[in-house]
Chains A and B, each alone.
Chain A
Amino acid sequence: MDSGMRTPLARVRGLGSAREGARDWWQMRLLSLALVPLALWWVVEIVAHAGAGYAGFVDWVRAPVPAILLLLTLAATFRHIALGLREVIEDYVHHELVKLAALAAVRLGCAAAALAGAFAVLRIALEG
């Protein structure tokens, strides 16, 4: 480990709470609060469109309000997942390299999934 050149402050900077420590905690609570109506709305709509087939589903996604709510739901869901899985990994995975790889995979995977979902919604909504 490096110990010579870096000041004690430089070594701990970014590793823990220093005024910004509560930011992720707050974000998780806000996302949870937002997801209560968003996720419930999504489940109700999915149930309402059970067996509606391709045309029924696409017609629903295409309408402006569902399209915007779907984008919000995707963003909130995958940010919520990223923060939640990070907490689980940090608590239970103790091998440093495995932990780093898992954290990176979760972060990149959530970003990719949210983006893919948003792309699909926009493609359906903006097409024809």
Chain B
Amino acid sequence: MPHPSRPLSPHLQVYRPQLTSVLSISHRISGVALSLGALVFVWQLLAAAAGPLAFDGFQHMIGSWLGLALLVAWSAAFYFHLANGIRHLAWDAGYGFDLPTTYRSGVAVLIATVTLTAVTWIAVLIVWRH
């Protein structure tokens, strides 16, 4: 079979990233990241079931700078995956498939991600101080 010398589409190296394609792959990346985050959810429950000492250990780890940084990243990934997931469900139901709407809903997903992440961490700070 002759080796094709013409570029095959879509060839990722020469493909200009677009909002649509970037959000699409980000949905998968955030999903994989959240799979790891879900294990922390189980860890917290197991620590609570094991007793006060184990729970304190968990809170110590998650309250460290690395733990908090991961939580901020996971919360952003969570809201992105949630908002973009709702966008996907709307597509699956047959709505919002035309190009202008797709771009508008994509921008809305990004705005929702930033807003909800910020609101969540402001709420954490307020709850923490009380």
Query: A residues near B, CB below 8 A?
Result: 29, 32-33, 36, 39-40, 42-43, 47-51, 53-55, 57-58, 61, 70, 74, 77-78, 81, 84-85, 88, 113, 116-117, 119-121, 123-124
A36 to B34, CA, bound (A): 14
B residues lining the A interface (CB < 8 Å): 28, 31-32, 34-35, 38-39, 41-42, 44-46, 48-49, 51-52, 55-56, 59, 75, 78, 82, 85-86, 88-89, 92, 120, 123-124, 127-128
* Residue pair B86, A36 in contact (C-beta under 8 Å): yes
Q: What are 6 A-B contacts with C-beta separation under 8 Å?
A: A33-B89, A50-B127, A54-B52, A61-B45, A81-B35, A124-B49
The residue that B127 contacts in the complex, of A51, A84, A119, with Cβ under 8 A, is A51
- With A32-B85, A120-B46, A124-B48 known to touch, is A47 a contact of B127 (CB < 8 Å)? yes
Complex: how many Å from CA A116 to CA B45? Answer: 9
